[in-house]
Structure 1
Amino acid sequence: MTTQKSHKLLMIPGPIEFEPAVLAALAEPTPSHVAPDFIEVFGRVLDNLRTVFQAPDGQPFVLAGSGTLAMEAAVANLLEAGDRVLQINTGYFSDRMAAICERSGAIITQVRAPAIGDVPALEEIQMALQQDHYTLMTITHVDTSTGVLTDVQTLAQMARSAHTLSVVDGVCSVGGEALPMAEWDVDVALTASQKALGVPPGLAIVMARPRALALFQGRTQPVASYYADWSNWLPIMQAYQSRKPAYFGTPPVNLVLALDVSLAQIIAEGMDARVARHIRLSEAVKAALTALGLGQAPARPAVAAHTLSAPYFPEGVDGAALLAKINAAGVVLAGGLHPAIRARYFRIGHMGAVSGADILAAVSAIEQGLRDVGYQFDAGSGLAAAQRVIEG
């Protein structure tokens, strides 16, 4: 995408840079949430979400809130006190999902990665599935704290074989990583607007497929969260899908208008092409980091996300000073988040409408920042490595 010269390039793992047409939708006169034109837009958004999630049999929920609300709405409606959850833990946001499940009274078994930047062994997960029955397996597709990508396809198959529902936290993956819900037999996936879907913060989005809805409809106790309760939202979503007015809580209408624009752009690009673009640009960033001598938090390329990169600061370099220098060069990057390594690494977001030009601008700023803090490297080596991948 082309960014305005009046602001610094935002290359963090969300919020991201947004397309001008998406931002323009936010400036539209705010319509009534029951106006016929808006009802048509919201209905189209719900239809198009099925396309983006690749879940033709899915039921989308679009709520005003953050990704954390999406996480809670995904599991609070499916869990009752005493239910068991198998948590596939790859970092900070896996810990958060476990905490959310515990609030619903669930009993959590965590299978943790052997080290930060890695994923749990499939054999260990299989053993856990054989030792108990779990209502849900919760999976963080991309943990934004570590840049680790989990093999959702394999894990969803394992869950299905064990008669366990799979819930995928796709906050940092949906719209950037491959996640064909129906093909992979994922039961629930969730995301937030400000990541690869390319809409400013404020929308929590959940897609639930038939087995999840059946489990919800068979509950014996009310959902503990009033706001997140699908009982309140399902009639609203169904009404908008039928192009009829309905009310439970006022939707963030301008954000829905913006989501309508972004989803149309995503579908026009095509899901396969969009994922391929994210892979190519991710490989360009990672090639640059390698050329510059920077290690990365993911243990190996096979478990590295394509929506962000998580490089370590060079030995002896003050991380805060480096990020400040990169910022002064016109690019905003994110510091570390995982508590165990927070001060040792930083994060580069590259998702949504990001372009090859954005990647090169970011790499150039990183090189400038490294020079300014006295790090020794071959000038231009990162840019050259990124350029080779982009031009591939």
Structure 2
Amino acid sequence: MKKRKLLMIPGPIEFEPEVLRAMSLTTTSHVAPNFIETFGHCLELLKNIFEAPNGQPFVIAGSGTLAMDMAAANLIETGEKVLVISTGYFGGRFNDIFKRYGASTTVLRASIGESVDLAQIENVLKTDQFKALAMTHVDTSTGILADAQSIAELANKYGALSVLDGVCSVAGERMEQENWGIDIVLTGSQKAIGVPPGLALLMASKRAIEVWKKRKNPVPNYYADWANWLPIMQAYEERRPSYFGTPSVNLIYALEVSLQSIIEEGMVQRAQRHKKLADAFRRGITAIGLKLMPKTEEVAANTLSAIYFPEDIDGGLLRKKIMESDVIIAGGLLPEIKNKYFRVGHMGAVSANDLLAVLGALERVLLELGHCFEAGRSMAVFQDTILNWPESSLA
């Protein structure tokens, strides 16, 4: 009998064994030649992952929230206007961060289960001159997928920098930073990138760097200031030793392993795999009468699912019993409805077998708690979807 549970929350995720093995390597100096090579290689690989060959990567010890903080601190000065597109909890966090640095923010909030209409975004952009537009590609609280490409096009049309929170999307959803004209994309290591928590990852466009260079005032955050970090990133990429703050040596060893694995799979193929598994999982969920938070397929993320508890079921008890079945899922995060839904992560190294385990545990607990449906239905629908997935959908 195994002594561990299957972790199926929207991050941290289940990690590949070779990534975890890299974490256990003997810690070396952060200016040792072998580490300089690894760090420099990671920075180069990230340009492929973000699809930003001319971008400037930053890899900093911290979380995805630090990456959000870095974007706001370096780009925004007091009184400048920022438009925030919010589809959940993390859109609100973006707003809080920009306001902390003195921004005058306008927030467009989507109704629960929906995205913000593009026409509404354009109407607001027409009314004023915004320094930046911030959006969440996949909001981890709702499982809503934003049309990042179209929103970035609007930002560019009206002269605003575009900032994308890709914490729950990068390396899981299709995202082409340079082709889509996105100025900043950021993420954390513990999501689809597939590395344990502890790294803030950010890719800045040439335009974003130029805007930062023209600031009138110093960046009001010492640790986040690109003036401290840019020379370090450039040095490592050029395979030269440098120092500002000690990097997370073992996490960066693990990052190299994971990034290489992602590149080997292929960015298009990886996004396709996530889409296929997510579609099959959603079909399995709805087949047993459960309701998803996203109201349409077009706005449903492929890296996690937000699912309402059946009205006749105690949600807290359901989660507890699923954990007793050796599967860990996440509770709700939106304050106004947090006790009405749960979340399942399906990103990174996730497999069909992992999602079948979730569906099996969920079915057993629902039946035990008296929810009526045909036993085995969700798993049968999942399998049928996987087996009959149209090849055209993977083109």
Task: Please classify the TM superposition score into its range, dividing by the shorter chain length.
Answer: over 0.9
1:202 aligns with 2:198: yes
1:58 aligns with 2:35: no
CA contact (8 A) 1:325 1:372 kept: no
Query: Could you list the runs of 5+ residues in structure 1 that have no partner in the other structure?
Result: none
Candidates 298, 302, 311, aligned match of 2:294: 298
Task: Write the letter of the residue equivalent to 1:154.
Answer: S
**What residue number does 1:16 align with?**
13
- Larger CA deviation: 367-376 vs 91-100: 367-376
1:169 aligns with 2:169: no
CA contact (8 A) 1:58 1:208 kept: yes
**What residue number does 1:330 align with?**
326
Task: Write the letter of the residue equivalent to 2:71.
Answer: A
**What residue number does 1:139 align with?**
135
**What residue number does 2:393 align with?**
none
Structure 1 residue 372, shift from structure 2 partner: 1.9
Same amino acid, percent of matched pairs:
54
- TM score, norm. by length of structure 2: 0.97
Query: Could you list the runs of 5+ residues in structure 2 that have no partner in the other structure?
Result: 389-395
What SS does the aligned partner of 2:339 have? helix
**What residue number does 1:69 align with?**
66
Candidates 79, 84, 92, aligned match of 1:82: 79
CA contact (8 A) 1:89 1:95 kept: yes
Candidates 10, 21, 26, aligned match of 2:23: 26
Task: Write the letter of the residue equivalent to 1:273.
Answer: Q
**What residue number does 1:360 align with?**
356
Q: How does 1:1-392 map to 2 (within 5 A)?
A: 5-113=2-110, 115-392=111-388
Q: How far apart, in 1, do the equivalents of 2:196 and 2:228 lie?
A: 25
Task: Write the letter of the residue equivalent to 2:85.
Answer: I
What SS does the aligned partner of 1:76 have? helix
Structure 1 residue 6, shift from structure 2 partner: 3.0
CA contact (8 A) 1:175 1:274 kept: yes
What SS does the aligned partner of 2:370 have? coil
Q: How far apart, in 2, do the equivalents of 1:389 and 1:241 lie?
A: 44
What SS does the aligned partner of 2:38 have? helix
- Larger CA deviation: 137-146 vs 117-126: 117-126
Structure 1 residue 74, shift from structure 2 partner: 1.4
Deviation by residue 1:32-86 (Cα, 9 ceiling, x = unmatched): 0000000000000000000000000100000111111011011210000011000
Q: How far apart, in 2, do the equivalents of 1:389 and 1:246 lie?
A: 51
Q: How far apart, in 2, do the equivalents of 1:388 and 1:159 lie?
A: 41
Q: How far apart, in 1, do the equivalents of 2:20 and 2:210 lie?
A: 38
Q: How far apart, in 2, do the equivalents of 1:319 and 1:125 lie?
A: 36
Structure 1 residue 285, shift from structure 2 partner: 1.0
Which stretches of structure 1, 4 residues or more, deviate above 4 A after TM superposition?
Answer: none
Structure 1 residue 300, shift from structure 2 partner: 1.1
- TM score, norm. by length of structure 1: 0.98
Deviation by residue 1:283-333 (Cα, 9 ceiling, x = unmatched): 111011110100011121110100000010001200010011111112100
What SS does the aligned partner of 2:75 have? coil
Q: How far apart, in 1, do the equivalents of 2:386 and 2:356 lie?
A: 9
Structure 1 residue 183, shift from structure 2 partner: 1.0
Q: How far apart, in 2, do the equivalents of 1:141 and 1:84 lie?
A: 21
What SS does the aligned partner of 1:340 have? coil
Structure 1 residue 376, shift from structure 2 partner: 1.0
Task: Write the letter of the residue equivalent to 1:105.
Answer: G
